[in-house]
Amino acid sequence: MKEEHIGLMAYEAISLVTVALSSVFSVAMGFVGGSNRGPMVGRSYTLSVTLLISLLAVLGVFIFHNLLLKGDDVTLRFIVALVFTPVASLSVIVLGIAILGALYKRYASIDQLSLPLCIITLAAIYLGIFTSIFILADMLPDNAKNAVYVFYGSILGSVLGYAMPTTITASLLLTLGACDVLILWLPQYKGRMLSALRDNKRTIRHVSISTNYIDIGLGDIVLYAMISGHAISRLTVWGSATVIVVLIVGLLVNAYVLMKREMIPGLMFTAIPSALSMLILLAIP
């Protein structure tokens, strides 16, 4: 089998696993925190928050890509550890409470749950500490790092999708999608990114899911998870199905385009169509 075909299969497999993990974690968060399909907030509040988040997203993309172009792997590792440490702890807490709720909801009193809750808390603390150590010290082999990044990226994305209203989520996806397209398609940026990919292999592997055949940006994984997580936790059944189908079709289009190009903006055919589908569903009575 040709290497490019193996790379495309790896891309599809990792992306679909991300969607599945995000969906499962969103269901667990719904079990713990209840339904998140609440009433819409005021328009002025939504607009101000949307603008703020969009500006922060653009600033974050600018800073991240400058660090990437400079090959500053220490700072990038610190940022990844800073983000994933609380995610590691949160994953243990949410999944642990969801399992406890399923097992003991009808039969146990709060006193009977005190020991399991203490164990969950300690496990969350230890996992957060060791996650930060392993990432900062670069102690994880590539396969383990890839698995950790896919798992934590899926959880982070599902948390963001669960927390943000549809309007804000769609605006963030459109903003980041536009930045992704501009950075990787404008000649002056694309050339610098291709040079960085060739010259800073060590740096790239700290912020991507890296295999022998393909590199998938960590941000892409988080946003794929955010799309599916938001669809599961915020939309109706038919709305969730529609957005997830749009996302999967976008992933297939990405794989097709990758057959012809060395590098593509991973959000153009996934985040942007998914965001537009969310806004269309929001506008339908």
Tokens 């607009």, residue located? 47
Global pTM?
0.86
Predicted local distance difference test score (pLDDT) of residue 2: 58
| Per-residue pLDDT tens over the stretch 80-110 | 888 888 888 888 888 887 777 766 655 555 5
Per the model's pLDDT, the better-predicted residue between 75 and 65 turns out to be 75
| Per-residue pLDDT tens over the stretch 140-166 | 888 888 888 999 999 989 988 888 888
| Per-residue pLDDT tens over the stretch 251-280 | 999 888 887 776 777 888 899 999 999 999
